[in-house]
């Protein structure tokens, strides 16, 4: 592919966009912002759009975008050796001062390497020098565990973008690369992997992260986070284009964080404290965007924790928006909320029962009961909502076969409620259920648990497929065991799994399957290939309390939920199914306490000031 063709494609894309920014490059810090997936996926990502706005809001920064090309275009670039360029000015990535990646999914790690190769930049940080752009990697995955990307990044940004951008600009007050890194190392939220030596125990586990002398690197990198959302705009869609997964939908973040703290949920732990964005700013942004979009997507893991949620929904409906919420917490649903969503034109809602039994929900600190789930379904379908999307998990602590059967039974009961109301309307909706294995995420109570054995996960998945086969108007999407195996490797691993990412990238971004070896194709067996390189896969999938975990080089939680608190929750989890009262259902409070009953929702202001220092739980 020639440069002229890239330029024509870029201009064609820009012609269908509204809201992009173009600035002169002279006397500005030049940032190439990359989403390591296709334009279609990237432009529906609220974090990516928000970082584009935050960078360009700075008068001394010019930020332009680049994306993973579609397959045919990618192959043409590789064959021709043409360097990839940015969208706005069609400038080669290697000409920028900073290449900043916004990475939301572990599966995109291989694409980070692909984009660096397309830019003509060495993949490993050790092979780069001051003549290359500074490679910064941020995004949701760095909240969880930045270490798998450590050998590829000059800088890892861990935290909320609103708190990170000013320090990056300040670091470029000097032209010395070493001084830039030292400045960033002293700023909250910036982790410089090359400034740390990792010491290992004889059994292969991590003994310590040791900052190198003279770097000024702290022993623990604290996450950059906003103390309050009062003074900032909520993240929202700033560039509208029809060429995305969600079309020209206006997305806006309503609440950040969740007070419930389910034991498996990394987002709940990492986004504390719960902070609601100002109501009027949400509505002002929605009003300004209305000329470009008639559909609004409300982004939050605890949407109804916003104290003005009913007012927001009513106002958006009055503006003429069709409103699509993210997954709704069942204990928050009210007739008014469901009615407003239906009146706006919404025909499907998403809920997360997680399991089929009350007992197992207590284990994971989710307090909703089957009776409450069925009552919520009655409310949803009686209000005119036609379809339902469900999220379930398998491989949870203390799970038994009866829990798998209960997933089927609960889904059938939901199906019966749907049919009862569909017959009156003369139109039947559908239920789509997604079933995923538990992957113990860093920074949660379950980070200490081993991943359930692969053969056992496969057995339970096969059992689930047999249980749910043949239910009319119900569709189950059950992930493969291999999918969870590699996700666990990427979620729990440290910098020693870099060869795994390189191997998969050489395999066309595929973690399993066949790769070309000369004129032949042979089966890629990743664990065996890694063992041949001295990488013990199981080190990265099993943990024990007292281990130095890879993500512990940085403090991930915004408020006081420390390793000791996570460990206590992890110990309680298996026994919780046999307990009653607040011991079984109380989540960790902001000070690491279990006292607060999660049935009593704490609003953002309450959670931010709650003090449990005197509690002995």
**pLDDT exceeds 80 at position 155:** yes
Residue 590 binned pLDDT confidence (cut-offs 50, 70, 90): very low
Q: Which residues pair with 432 in a beta bridge?
A: 389, 475
299-323 mean pLDDT = 93
551-574 mean pLDDT = 54
| DSSP SS3 for 81 | coil
CA distances 135 to 96, 191, 318, Å, are 10, 12, 45
d(CA 211, CA 192) in angstroms, rounded, equals: 10
The Cα angle at residue 589 between residues 267 and 307, in degrees rounded to 5:
70
**pLDDT exceeds 60 at position 608:** no
- How much is the pLDDT for 541? 56
pLDDT per residue over 317-346, tens digit each? Answer: 999 999 999 878 887 789 999 999 999 999
d(CA 461, CA 414) in angstroms, rounded, equals: 21
- How much is the pLDDT for 536? 57
Q: Percent of the chain beyond pLDDT 70?
A: 84
Q: Which two tokens stand for residue 26?
A: 């002279």
Residue 261 binned pLDDT confidence (cut-offs 50, 70, 90): confident
- How much is the pLDDT for 332? 78
Question: Range with the lowest mean pLDDT among 121-135, 294-308, 508-522?
Answer: 508-522
445-450 mean pLDDT = 84
Regarding predicted confidence, which is higher, 570 or 229? Answer: 229
End-to-end CA distance of the chain: 64
What structural domains and CATH numbers belong to the chain?
Answer: 3-222 (3.40.50.280)
d(CA 446, CA 363) in angstroms, rounded, equals: 11
Residue 604 binned pLDDT confidence (cut-offs 50, 70, 90): very low
The DSSP letter of residue 87 is T
pLDDT per residue over 400-445, tens digit each? Answer: 999 999 999 999 999 999 999 998 888 899 999 999 999 888 888 8
Which helix (H) or strand (E) is 399 found in, with range? none
Task: Decide: 277 and 299 in contact? Cβ < 8 Å.
Answer: no
Kindly tell me the burial class for residue 543, based on how many C-beta atoms sit within 10 Å of its own C-beta (0-12, 13-18, 19 or more): buried
Q: Percent of the chain beyond pLDDT 90?
A: 59
d(CA 383, CA 247) in angstroms, rounded, equals: 27
pLDDT per residue over 9-57, tens digit each? Answer: 999 999 999 999 999 999 999 999 999 999 999 999 999 999 999 999 9
């Amino acid at each position: 592919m020639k440069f002229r063709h890239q330029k024509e494609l870029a201009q064609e894309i820009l012609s269908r966009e509204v809201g992009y920014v173009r600035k002169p490059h002279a006397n500005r810090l030049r940032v190439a912002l990359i989403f390591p997936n296709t334009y279609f996926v990237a432009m529906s990502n609220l974090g990516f759009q928000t970082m584009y706005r935050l960078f360009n809001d700075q008068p001394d920064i010019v930020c332009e975008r680049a994306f993973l090309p579609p397959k045919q275009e990618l192959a043409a670039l590789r064959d021709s050796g043409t360097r990839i360029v940015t969208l706005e000015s069609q400038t080669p990535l290697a000409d920028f001062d900073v290449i900043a990646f916004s990475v939301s999914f572990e599966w995109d790690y291989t694409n980070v390497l692909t984009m660096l190769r397309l830019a003509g930049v060495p993949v490993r940080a050790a092979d780069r020098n001051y003549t290359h752009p500074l490679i910064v990697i941020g995004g949701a995955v760095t909240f969880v565990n930045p270490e798998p990307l450590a050998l590829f990044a000059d800088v890892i940004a861990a935290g909320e973008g609103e708190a990170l951008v000013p320090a990056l600009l300040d670091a470029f007050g000097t032209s010395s690369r070493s001084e830039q890194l030292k400045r960033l190392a002293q700023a909250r939220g910036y982790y410089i992997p090359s400034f740390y030596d990792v010491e290992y125990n004889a059994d292969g586990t991590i003994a310590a992260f040791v900052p190198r002398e003279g770097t000024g690197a702290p022993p623990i990198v604290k996450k950059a986070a906003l103390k309050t959302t009062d003074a900032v705009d909520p993240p929202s869609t700033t560039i509208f284009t029809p060429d995305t997964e969600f079309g020209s939908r206006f997305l806006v973040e309503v609440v950040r964080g969740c007070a419930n703290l389910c034991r498996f949920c990394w987002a709940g732990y990492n986004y504390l404290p719960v902070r609601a964005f100002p109501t009027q700013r949400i509505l002002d942004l929605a009003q300004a965007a209305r000329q470009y979009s008639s559909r609004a997507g409300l982004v939050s893991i605890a949407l109804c924790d916003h104290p003005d949620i009913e007012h927001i929904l009513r106002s958006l409906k009055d503006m003429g928006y069709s409103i699509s919420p993210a997954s709704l917490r069942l204990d928050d649903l009210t007739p008014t909320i469901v009615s407003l969503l239906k009146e706006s034109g919404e025909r499907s809602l998403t809920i997360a029962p997680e399991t089929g039994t009350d007992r197992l929900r207590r284990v994971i600190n989710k307090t909703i009961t089957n009776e409450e789930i069925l009552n919520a379904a009655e409310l949803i379908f009686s209000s005119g909502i036609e379809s339902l999307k469900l999220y379930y998990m398998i491989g949870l602590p203390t799970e038994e076969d009866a829990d798998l059967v209960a997933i089927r039974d609960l889904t059938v009961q939901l199906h019966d409620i749907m049919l009862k109301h569909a017959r009156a309307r003369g139109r039947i909706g559908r239920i789509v259920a997604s079933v995923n294995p538990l992957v113990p995420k860093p920074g949660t109570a379950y980070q200490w648990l081993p991943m359930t054995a692969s053969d056992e996960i496969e057995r339970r998945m096969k059992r689930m497929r047999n249980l749910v086969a043949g239910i009319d108007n119900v569709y189950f999407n059950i992930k493969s065991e291999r999918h969870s195996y590699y996700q666990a490797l990427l979620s729990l691993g440290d910098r020693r799994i870099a060869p795994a990412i390189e191997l998969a990238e050489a395999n066309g971004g595929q973690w399993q399957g066949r790769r070309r070896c000369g004129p032949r194709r042979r089966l890629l067996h990743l664990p065996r290939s890694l063992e041949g390189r001295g990488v013990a896969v199981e080190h990265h999938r099993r943990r024990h309390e007292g281990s130095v975990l890879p993500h512990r080089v940085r403090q991930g939680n915004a408020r006081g939920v420390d390793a000791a608190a996570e460990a206590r929750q992890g110990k309680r989890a298996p026994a919780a199914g046999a307990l009653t009262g607040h011991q079984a259902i109380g989540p960790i409070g902001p000070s690491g306490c279990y006292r607060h009953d999660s049935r009593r929702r704490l609003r953002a202001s309450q959670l931010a000031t709650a003090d449990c220092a005197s509690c002995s739980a």
